[in-house]
Structures are given as structure tokens and as C-alpha cells.
Amino acid sequence: MKLGLVIDLDTCVGCHACAVACKEWNGSSAVSGPLSDYEPYGAEPSGVWFNRIRHYEIGEYPDNKTLNLPMSCMHCEDAACVTVCPTGASYKRPEDGIVLIDQDKCMGCNLCSWACPYGARELDRSSGTMKKCTLCVDRIYDLELPVEERQPACVLACPAHARMFGDLDDPDSAASQAVRERGGFGLMSELGYKPVNQYLPARKPRPIPVQTSPSPPPGRTRTFINRMIKR
Ligand code: SF4
Ligand code: SF4
Ligand code: SF4
């Protein structure tokens, strides 16, 4: 089994709901919580976030668009973070492929963070240990939850339904089918770490149609502008 996320770059609107839901769930999780915040009300707040959304402007006006790129641990098949960890704290579960960190074995040496090409590892300064996306391992196997809720918090929160969760080893899973039908790809797969998470490509930017603005009637400029503002 190869559990992972499939993220649709065509429908992601970059709202950060997935990141907030992730922080909320994992902050109170026994697996990885609490997740520290540093100077949350200061000029430069920061903290531990497992899922971060990057925003890029691609193309050139008028053939441009914003691309929103949510990124978390890719649960790589050949995970560099696992290879370099000197204490065995980082490990990949053979039964489902989830990459986890044993908080009791981690000494916060940062080696895994330097090795991860996706910037997925977050050193929690309060605990002195490394943390990262757990694929919500404490949700997806929780038999107390209704079956439809046994999914990662980020998937359940996404208002655009841009996130899917499933077994990417099973060709019949909805996640695998979406990857097949939409030409899904692993981010920076040329590096050879075999990321399990997959992205569905965004459509090319559509040119913005050029329109001439209506001219204000002579002598009525102020009224015209006021009317435009009220709209
Ligand atoms: S920070 Fe922790 S998980 Fe990462 S390499 Fe060091 S001991 Fe291993
Ligand atoms: S799977 Fe869970 S831990 Fe990973 S990014 Fe989504 S909400 Fe966060
Ligand atoms: S919640 Fe969905 S739409 Fe919003 S940033 Fe995350 S993936 Fe994109």
C-alpha cells in the first residue's frame, strides 16, 4: 500500500484552509503536537506548519495566471530524510508507506531537514524535535470516526475539493484513476526520491480579453466615477 495525497493544481484557489485545518488537527495530536508558534502577535510571526501553500505568477500579461502550490511531505518511496537520520527516528512504515518521526528518538540534529528537497521538515524549537506531515495517521485509521471522515484533515477542509487521499499502489483507487486520467506527476521526480504525492496539472493561462473602457459622458466625470465606486 502507498498512501498519499493527490492535489489538483487546476482547482486549488490558494485559500490556505488545508494548512489551517492541518495545524489545528496536528497541534492537538498525540503523534506530533503541540505545534509551536513563535511571536504569533509580533511583527514577524512564524511557527511549525506541516502544509504550506506557495503562490507563483506564471506567464506574462495578458497570458498569465496565479498558480497555487500546496506542499507537504511527499512520503517518498526512497526518502532521503530516512536514509540520513542517525538515530532511526525517521522511518517509513512498510505497511502503508507513511513516513513518520519517532519524537522519542529525535535529537533535533536537522540532518533530515537538509536532506529533504521539498522543505517538508519543520524543527519545533520548543520541543527540540523535528516534525512533519503524518498523513493524519491518527485520523485515517480511527475506527471511532465515521468512514467518510477517516481522511486527512486537509482533504476534508478543502472547499475546492482540490485534494484527494488514497492508495496510489491500487490502480482502481479514485486517487490513482485521477492521476492516470489527468496526467498527474510527482514534484521534482527527476531527483529520484519517488514522491508518492501527486499533482494534477493546471490548465494553461487563458489570455485576458482586451476591452476598451466606456468613456464618461462629457462634463459628468465625477458622477460617473462615483457610480463606478458604488458598484
Ligand atoms: S532531526 Fe531527528 S528525525 Fe531528523 S535526522 Fe536528526 S534525529 Fe533524525
Ligand atoms: S495529511 Fe494531515 S498532516 Fe499531512 S498536510 Fe494534510 S492535514 Fe497536514
Ligand atoms: S484548501 Fe484546497 S483550495 Fe485551499 S489552498 Fe488548500 S488545496 Fe488549495
How many angstroms does the Cα of residue 164 sit away from the middle of ligand 3? 11
Q: Is residue 148 part of a domain?
A: yes
Q: Write out residues in the chain with pLDDT < 50, as ranges.
A: none
Nearest 5°: phi and psi at 82?
A: -75, -45
Q: Which ligand is nearest to the CA of 106?
A: 1
Q: Is residue 138 part of a domain?
A: yes
Residues 6+ away with beta carbon under 8 Å from 196: 2, 3, 4, 74, 75, 76, 77, 97, 168, 186
Q: Which ligand is nearest to the CA of 5?
A: 2
How many angstroms does the Cα of residue 111 sit away from the middle of ligand 1? 6
Question: What is the model's pTM?
Answer: 0.89
Q: Is residue 222 part of a domain?
A: no
In this predicted model, what pLDDT tens digit does every residue of 70-118 receive, in sequence order? 999 999 999 999 999 999 999 999 999 999 999 999 999 999 999 999 9
Q: Is residue 225 part of a domain?
A: no
- The domain in which residue 96 lies consists of 3-200
Number of folded domains in the chain?
Answer: 1
Q: Which pLDDT does position 230 carry in this prediction?
A: 54
Which amino acid residue places its CA nearest to atom 1 of ligand 1? 108
The Cα–Cα gap between 129 and 107 comes to 6
Q: Is residue 205 part of a domain?
A: no
CATH number at residue 160: 3.30.70.20
Q: Which pLDDT does position 213 carry in this prediction?
A: 72
Q: Which pLDDT does position 211 carry in this prediction?
A: 72
